[in-house]
Amino acid sequence: AAEPKTLPDYVRWKNANDMIVHSANTIETQRGAVGSGVVTASDKLYVRNNLPAPDANIVADRDAWKITFEGVNSPQSLTLGDLKKIGVETVTTVLQCSGNGRAYYEHGPGGTQWGTGAAGCLIWTGVPLREVVAKLGGVKPGMNYITSTGGETLPEGLDPNTIMVERSVPVKALDQALLAWDMNDEPMPLAHGGPLRMVVPGYFGVNNVKYVDRVAFTEGQSDAKIQASGYRIRPIGEKGAPDQPSMWEMSVKSWVTAPLTTASQGKNLIYGVAFGGMNAVSKVEVSADGGETWKKARFLGPDMGRYAWRPFVVSMDLSAGDHRIVSRATDTDGNTQPPTRTENERGYGNTSWKDHGVTVTVS
Ligand code: MSS
């Protein structure tokens, strides 16, 4: 068995019993810790850092945090205090790491072996990026991407491009992108990107740049390694390259959160979460025989909008023995979660309903 690891200092406030500590910079939510509410409590939310988290002094005077805007008609630096005067909106989104579900790939992709817990559903409050851009005279013509830079202090002596967290997303994401200062109605925790975070609803976690200090509208994508060759869907054995699909929009996905290992014979409530990525989720079906027969589940609790996940529940009669319980979600565009994963070198974007099933022993 793996050595139990304790939470590192910067996330000591998290609920240790709900977390799996893979490393100081990769901490997963236990599959059963999600609960049946819509919103993931901050102290249960996973953490993924490509670089060590910045010093806590960056959240000492939040409103003084500076962010530079480029590729607009009047480029300038604004403080978080200035942004707060421009506008405010709240959106609930699923934050999910590109590598969530990597543990189920059989070719053994390197990187954190995430099961289901590199995901959560959060309430973000901040200013719509489009409102900031309108204040700055609009996007310059010919700009195709929104490029956001993380505010980590980079270690010296290394080529910044090889380590910096800088992500580009297509400029159409201006429709929904938010510069957020609150998460779950509290000031953004440092571990999750305080004082200010770029939130791109419907896009994979990596595009949600923490401690963002620069937003540039750019013609091309960032040259940073994390954009140019990292976070790309590529055939097993191949190197990352800019022409491969980038981890941008998320696809429809669901998984069961209870029961996970054992259950009693007879009627059981089966719980889980489902989301559509860019679209709202419209339907979830559950099977207790590995996908032979399906039963429609019921959504639980409020609909927090198209980018949020929806907890679901279904009652099923379980006989004694082992049952493979799986769930399969469909979005409002009619896309259904596929049975199998798309094999790829880094183990990204796993939505396979087979992979995300659980084997429950009923007695
Ligand atoms: N940002 C920054 N600045 N840095 C880093 O590292 N990471 C990514 C995002 N952002 C980073 C950032 C990732 S990769 C993810 S997932 C996310 O974030 C996470 O979040 P949280 O809050 O949970 O920690 Mo994968 O796709």
Model confidence over 254-312: pLDDT tens digits? 999 999 999 999 999 999 999 999 999 999 999 999 999 999 999 998 999 999 999 99
Q: Is 75 helix (H, G, I), strand (E, B) or coil?
A: coil
Sorting pLDDT into bands at 50, 70 and 90, what band is 83?
Answer: very high
Pairwise CA distance, residues 229 & 255, whole Å: 30
Nearest-atom number in ligand 1 for the CA of 151 is: 3
Q: Is the ipTM of this complex over 0.95?
A: yes
124 C-beta closer than 6 A to ligand 1: no
Tell me what pLDDT residue 243 has: 97
Cα of 319 vs centre of ligand 1, distance in Å, is: 42
Cβ neighbour number for residue 64 with a 10 Å cutoff: 11
Sorting pLDDT into bands at 50, 70 and 90, what band is 4?
Answer: low
pLDDT in tens, 112-143: 999 999 999 999 999 999 999 999 999 999 99
Tell me what pLDDT residue 245 has: 98
Write down the residue that tokens 């609790």 correspond to. Answer: 301
Count the alpha carbons within 13 Å of 200 in the hemisphere toward its beta carbon: 28
226 C-beta closer than 6 A to ligand 1: no
Cα of 48 vs centre of ligand 1, distance in Å, is: 5
* Ranges assigned E (strand) in 46-194: 47-48, 66-70, 76-79, 89-96, 119-128, 145-150, 166-170, 178-183, 186-187
Superfamily name and number for 9-228:
Oxidoreductase, molybdopterin-binding domain (3.90.420.10)
Query: Does 5 score more than 90 pLDDT?
Result: no
349 C-beta closer than 6 A to ligand 1: no
Preceding peptide of 195 cis, ω within 30° = yes
Q: Is 255 helix (H, G, I), strand (E, B) or coil?
A: strand
Q: Are strands 212-218 and 66-70 parallel, antiparallel or unpaired?
A: parallel
User: How far, in whole angstroms, is CA 19 from its chain's centroid?
Assistant: 16
347 C-beta closer than 6 A to ligand 1: no
Mutate to test the pocket of ligand 1, among 23, 48, 100, 222 (most ligand atoms within 8 A of CB): 48
Mutate to test the pocket of ligand 1, among 97, 184, 214, 248 (most ligand atoms within 8 A of CB): 97
Contact residues for 34 (Cβ-Cβ < 8 A; gap 6+): 40, 44, 120, 257, 273, 311
Contact in structure between 308 and 337 (CB atoms under 8 Å): no
Cα of 191 vs centre of ligand 1, distance in Å, is: 9
164 C-beta closer than 6 A to ligand 1: no
pLDDT in tens, 225-241: 999 999 999 999 999 99
* Structure-token pair, residue 327: 């769930």
122 C-beta closer than 6 A to ligand 1: no
Q: How confident is the prediction for the chain on average, in pLDDT?
A: 97
Tell me what pLDDT residue 36 has: 78
Q: Where in the chain is the domain with CATH 2.60.40.650?
A: 253-362
Q: Where in the chain is the domain with CATH 3.90.420.10?
A: 9-228
Contact in structure between 201 and 130 (CB atoms under 8 Å): no
**Architecture of the 253-362 domain:** Sandwich (2.60)
93 DSSP assignment: E
Nearest to 253 by CA among 180, 202, 191: 202
Mutate to test the pocket of ligand 1, among 154, 210, 348 (most ligand atoms within 8 A of CB): 210
Cα of 117 vs centre of ligand 1, distance in Å, is: 14
Cα of 190 vs centre of ligand 1, distance in Å, is: 12
Tell me what pLDDT residue 1 has: 43
Pairwise CA distance, residues 97 & 120, whole Å: 10
